[in-house]
Structure 1
Amino acid sequence: MTRPTFENELKEIHLDILKMGAMAEEAIDKAILALKTKDIELAQRIIDNDDKIDELTEEIEKKCAIVIATQQPLASDLRLIITAMRIATDIERIADHAEDISQITLKLAKEDYVKPLIDIPKMAEITRSMLKDALDSYVNSDIELAKSVVKRDDLVDTMYQNLIDELEQIMKENSAAVSQCIQFLLVIKYLERIADHSTNIAEWVVYKITGMHKHEWEGREKETK
C-alpha cells in the first residue's frame, strides 16, 4: 500500500467516524424527544436504525484491520487507527443506549408520568453536548476541547445522583409509582453511560494527539500547578 493510498484509507475511516457520530447524536435527541412526547413511532424508528450504526462499526473495524495488515504504520499513524477503533466502539455503545431509552418509551407511552420530564431532558442535553464536543475535538484535533469534555463528566454524575435521590423519594411516597420510577432510573443510568462514553472519546482524542493516557496527562498537569 502506497502512502497516498494509506492516507486515503485513513481519511475514509475518519469520515465514517463522523457519520457514526452524527447518527448517534441524532439518536440521543430523538430518543429523549420520543420519551417526552410518548411518540411510539419515533421510538421504534430509533430502535430499527440501530442496526445501521452496528454495521458501520463493523465496517470501520474491518478497514482498520486491513490498514494495519497491509502496511506497518508509524507510531503516530498507529495511534490514529487505534483511536478510530476505540471511538467507533464508544459511539456504537452510545447509540445502543439511545435504543435502550427508546425501548423504555415503548413501555411507558400509555402511562401518565409521575413527574414532569424537565431534569431528564436537561441531563440529556448536557450528555449530547459532550458527545458533540468530543467529536468536534476529534475532527479538529482540539486537545483543550477534549479535556473540557472530560471535566464535564462530573457535572453529569452530580445530576445523575440528584435524580436518583428524587426518584427514590417519589417511590417512598407513592408505591404505585415504583415501576415507572425504575424505568426512569434506567433512563438516567443510560444517559450517565452516554456521558462516560463521550468522555472516553475525548480521552482517546488526547491520546491520538499526545500519545498519553488520562492518568499520564492529568499527572503532568498536577505537577505543573
Structure 2
Amino acid sequence: MREHLDQQLTRLNHDLIKMGAMVETIIDKAVTSLKNQDLELAKEIYTEDDAIDEMELKIEKDCLNLIALQQPMAKDLRRIASALKIITDLERIGDHAVNIAKITLEIGNESLMKPLIDIPKMAEIAQNMIKLSLDAFVNQDIEIAKRAAEMDEEVDKLYDTVINEVFQYIQKDSKFLNQGIKLLFVGRYLERVADHTTNICERIIYMVTGERVEIN
C-alpha cells in the first residue's frame, strides 16, 4: 500500500509540474502577444487555457481518488489537499492570461502609447515565481517557497511604476485614456498572478509544517 501511494504521489508531482509549465508558457505568450501586437498568438491563448482547465480536472480527480482509495494520513493528506488548492490557483492564473489576450485583441493594431518594458518584467518575475513554487512543492522545501513569495514585492513595485507611467501619458494627452486603462488592467492581472503564486507558497509551507502562515 505504501509503495503504491508513493507511486501515485510521484505521478501527482509530475502532473503538477506539467500544469505549472503550461501556466508559465501561457503567461509568457499572453504578454509577448501584447508586446509584439501578435493577434494570432493572442488567439492561441484560448486553446491553451482549455488544456490547462482539462489538466486541473485530471489532477483533481486523481487527488480525490487518492483520498478515497488510499486513505492517506497526516503529511500525505496535507500534500494531496494542498495540491487541490494549488491547481485552483494555477487555473486562475491561466484565466488571467486569457484576460491579457482579450486586451491584446481589443487593442489590435493600434499603436502602443510606448514600448512595453515593465509589464514584460512583471511577467518574467511572475513566471519565475511559478517555477520556484512548484519546485518547492516537489522538494517540500519551505525556503524555496518563501523566496518565491518574496518576489511578489518586486511585481508590486513594477505595477506601481506602470500605474504612474500610464497616468503621466494620459495627463499629457487624453487620446491615451482608453489604451491606458487597458494596460492598467494588464498590470493588475499580472499582479494577481503573483498573488496567486504567493497563495501557492503559503500552502506549501502548510503542507510541510502543518502551520498556516500569511506571507507579505
Instruction: Note the C-alpha offset of 1:9.
Output: 2.1
Q: Equivalences for 1:1-225 in 2 at 5 Å?
A: 2-215=1-214
CA distance in 2, matches of 1:121, 1:54: 24
* Segment of structure 1 superposing worse, 186-195 or 8-17: 8-17
Instruction: Note the C-alpha offset of 1:105.
Output: 1.0
Instruction: Note the C-alpha offset of 1:37.
Output: 0.9
CA distance in 1, matches of 2:173, 2:96: 28
Amino acid at match of 2:176: A
- Matched position secondary structure for 1:199: helix
Instruction: Note the C-alpha offset of 1:97.
Output: 0.9
CA distance in 2, matches of 1:75, 1:140: 17
Instruction: Note the C-alpha offset of 1:132.
Output: 1.3
CA distance in 2, matches of 1:136, 1:63: 20
Instruction: Note the C-alpha offset of 1:6.
Output: 2.2
CA distance in 2, matches of 1:123, 1:111: 23
CA distance in 2, matches of 1:110, 1:155: 30
- Give per-residue Cα distances to partners, 1:8-34, cap 9 Å, x unaligned: 222222211111001001111111111
CA distance in 2, matches of 1:72, 1:137: 24
- Matched position secondary structure for 1:22: helix
Amino acid at match of 1:94: I
Amino acid at match of 2:208: I
Contact 1:141 1:205 in 2 (8 A): yes
- Give per-residue Cα distances to partners, 1:154-211, cap 9 Å, x unaligned: 2211221221122122222211111101110110001001101111111111111111
Q: Structure 2: give runs of 5+ residues left out of the alignment.
A: none
Amino acid at match of 2:49: D
Contact 1:160 1:189 in 2 (8 A): yes
Instruction: Note the C-alpha offset of 1:139.
Output: 2.1
Partner of 1:223: none
Instruction: Note the C-alpha offset of 1:5.
Output: 2.4
Contact 1:47 1:103 in 2 (8 A): no
- Matched position secondary structure for 2:72: coil
Instruction: Note the C-alpha offset of 1:101.
Output: 0.8
Q: How many residues align?
A: 215
TM-score (ref. length: structure 2): 0.94
- Matched position secondary structure for 1:110: coil
Instruction: Tell me how large the CA RMSD over aligned residues is.
Output: 1.4
* Segment of structure 1 superposing worse, 17-26 or 201-210: 201-210
CA distance in 1, matches of 2:148, 2:212: 15
- Matched position secondary structure for 1:66: helix
Question: After TM superposition, where is structure 1 displaced by more than 4 Å over at least 4 residues in a row?
Answer: none
CA distance in 2, matches of 1:126, 1:64: 29
CA distance in 1, matches of 2:76, 2:123: 34
Instruction: Note the C-alpha offset of 1:62.
Output: 1.2
